[in-house]
C-alpha cells in the first residue's frame, strides 16, 4: 500500500495532446507482434507485460518503454552477420595486405573451407576465466555468425583453447552481441592478456551493437584494439536521458523531468517486488533474440517478484 501511494504522488503528467498515446502504441506494437514483424515477443507475453502497468501514469511509461525499444529480430541479426562477412572482413583483409582473391565470391569460398587457408581467427568475447556459465551470448553470436556467413570451423576458436594463443594469425576478430559499459570486454582482455599480442597480429573487436560510452572506454584502455561495431547506439540510448541543455527535462517527451520519470519507474518496480537496476545498467532499451542484455532495463526482462517479463533473459 505504501509503495502504491508513493507511485501516485510522483508528479508525472501525460503531456497535452498525448492522452491517447498509450492506446495507440499498445495497438500498433501488438499488431507488429501478432503479424510477426517483431517475432522475438509473443502476444501472450506482451499482454501479460502490459498488465504490470495499472494507472494512467504507469501506462504512459509502458508506452514510452515500447516506443523506445531497440529491437533486433533474427532476420536483422542475420543481416548484421552478412555485413561482417561481406563488408567488414574483406575491408580488413585488404587493409592488412591479406587479400589474395580475385573477387568476393572467392573469399567467401575460402572462408567456408574447413581447413583454414586465410591468416584469420574468429573468437567470441567469453571464456571460463570470465564466466563459467554455458551458452553465453558471445558464444551464441559466433555460432550463429558461422552459420549465417558459412564460416568453416577451422576459423572459429574459443579463448580457452590452449592453442588459441599460439601461432598467432595476421587478423584476430573478436565478436560480441553488445558493447555496453566495456566492462565485459575489459575483463576478457585482461584475463586473456590481449596486450601481449604480437605487433604483427591485428586485433579487431566487432560488436553487433555498441554504446558510445563503451566504445570510448575500450579505446582508452586498449588503444591497440581496433573497433568496428556493426551498429552504434545514439548517445541518448539510455531511457532516462535528459535534454542536452542540462535542464533535467526528459528528452523523450520534453515535458516531465528525468527525476520524476525515474521515480515513477522505480516505484512501479518496487511495488511489484522487482530488484533495483544493477550498478552496470545503462538504462538501455535493447531487445535481442534469445537473451536480453543485462544493460537493458529490468522492466523488459525481469521474471522475479510479481513482474511479468516482456521477453526472457
Cα 155 to Cα 114: distance, rounded to the nearest angstrom: 8
Within a domain: 291 = yes
Query: Taking residues 65-82, what's their average pLDDT?
Result: 95
Within a domain: 313 = no
Last residue of a domain, one of 174, 204, 232: 232
Regarding whether 80 and 57 lie in a shared domain, the answer is no
104 sits in which H/E element: helix 104-111
Cα 56 to Cα 130: distance, rounded to the nearest angstrom: 43
pLDDT at 7 over 70: no
Regarding whether 192 and 122 lie in a shared domain, the answer is yes
- What does the pLDDT look like over 166-206, one tens digit per residue? 999 999 999 999 999 999 999 999 999 999 999 999 999 99
- What does the pLDDT look like over 207-221, one tens digit per residue? 999 999 999 999 999
Q: Cα 181 vs. chain centroid, distance in angstroms?
A: 11
Query: Taking residues 262-266, what's their average pLDDT?
Result: 95
Regarding whether 163 and 22 lie in a shared domain, the answer is no
pLDDT at 45 over 70: yes
60 lies in which domain range?
A: 2-68+242-301
Query: How many C-alpha atoms does 222 have within 13 Å on its Cβ side?
Result: 23
Within a domain: 306 = no
Residue pair 249/255 in contact by the 8 Å Cβ criterion: yes
pLDDT at 1 over 50: no
Residue pair 258/242 in contact by the 8 Å Cβ criterion: yes
pLDDT at 293 over 90: no
pLDDT at 308 over 50: yes
Q: Which residues face 70 on adjacent strands?
A: 286
Within a domain: 309 = no
Please tell me the total count of domains within the chain. 2
Q: Quick check: helix, strand or coil at residue 149? A: coil
pLDDT, position 278: 82
Last residue of a domain, one of 188, 214, 232: 232
Q: Cα 20 vs. chain centroid, distance in angstroms?
A: 30
63-95 in b/e form (b: 16+ CB < 10 A) is bbbbebbebbbeeebbebbebbbeebbbebbee
Residue pair 210/243 in contact by the 8 Å Cβ criterion: no
- What does the pLDDT look like over 115-163, one tens digit per residue? 788 899 999 998 877 766 655 667 788 889 999 999 999 999 999 888 8
Cα 287 to Cα 283: distance, rounded to the nearest angstrom: 12
pLDDT, position 135: 55
Amino acid at each position: 500500500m505504501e509503495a502504491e501511494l508513493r507511485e501516485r504522488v510522483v508528479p508525472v503528467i501525460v503531456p497535452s495532446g498525448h492522452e491517447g498515446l498509450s492506446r495507440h502504441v499498445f495497438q500498433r506494437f501488438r499488431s507488429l507482434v501478432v503479424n510477426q514483424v517483431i517475432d522475438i515477443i509473443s502476444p501472450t507475453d506482451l499482454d501479460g507485460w502490459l498488465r504490470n502497468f495499472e494507472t494512467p501514469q504507469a501506462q504512459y511509461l509502458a508506452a514510452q518503454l515500447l516506443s523506445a525499444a531497440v529491437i533486433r529480430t533474427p532476420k536483422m541479426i542475420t543481416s548484421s552477420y552478412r555485413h561482417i562477412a561481406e563488408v567488414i572482413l574483406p575491408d580488413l583483409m585488404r587493409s592488412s595486405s591479406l587479400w589474395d582473391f580475385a573477387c568476393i565470391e572467392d573469399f567467401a569460398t575460402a572462408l567456408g573451407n574447413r581447413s583454414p587457408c586465410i591468416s584469420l581467427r574468429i573468437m567470441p568475447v567469453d571464456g571460463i576465466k570470465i564466466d563459467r556459465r554455458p551458452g553465453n551470448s558471445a558464444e551464441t553470436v559466433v555460432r550463429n555468425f558461422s552459420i549465417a556467413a558459412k564460416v568453416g570451423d577451422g576459423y572459429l576458436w574459443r579463448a580457452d583453447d590452449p592453442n588459441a594463443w599460439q601461432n598467432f594469425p595476421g587478423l584476430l576478430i573478436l565478436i560480441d552481441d553488445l558493447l555496453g559499459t566495456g566492462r565485459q570486454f575489459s575483463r576478457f582482455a585482461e584475463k586473456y592478456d590481449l596486450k601481449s599480442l604480437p605487433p604483427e597480429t591485428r586485433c579487431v573487436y566487432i560488436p553487433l551493437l555498441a554504446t558510445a560510452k563503451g566504445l570510448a572506454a575500450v579505446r582508452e584502455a586498449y588503444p591497440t584494439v581496433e573497433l568496428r561495431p556493426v551498429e552504434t547506439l545514439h548517445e541518448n540510448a539510455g531511457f532516462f536521458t535528459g535534454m542536452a541543455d542540462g535542464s533535467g527535462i526528459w528528452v523523450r517527451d520534453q515535458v516531465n523531468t528525468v527525476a520524476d520519470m525515474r521515480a515513477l519507474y522505480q516505484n512501479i518496480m518496487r511495488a511489484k517486488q522487482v530488484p533495483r537496476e544493477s550498478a552496470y545498467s545503462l538504462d538501455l532499451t535493447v531487445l535481442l533474440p534469445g537473451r536480453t542484455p543485462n544493460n537493458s532495463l529490468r522492466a523488459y526482462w525481469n521474471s522475479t517478484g510479481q513482474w511479468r517479463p516482456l521477453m526472457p533473459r
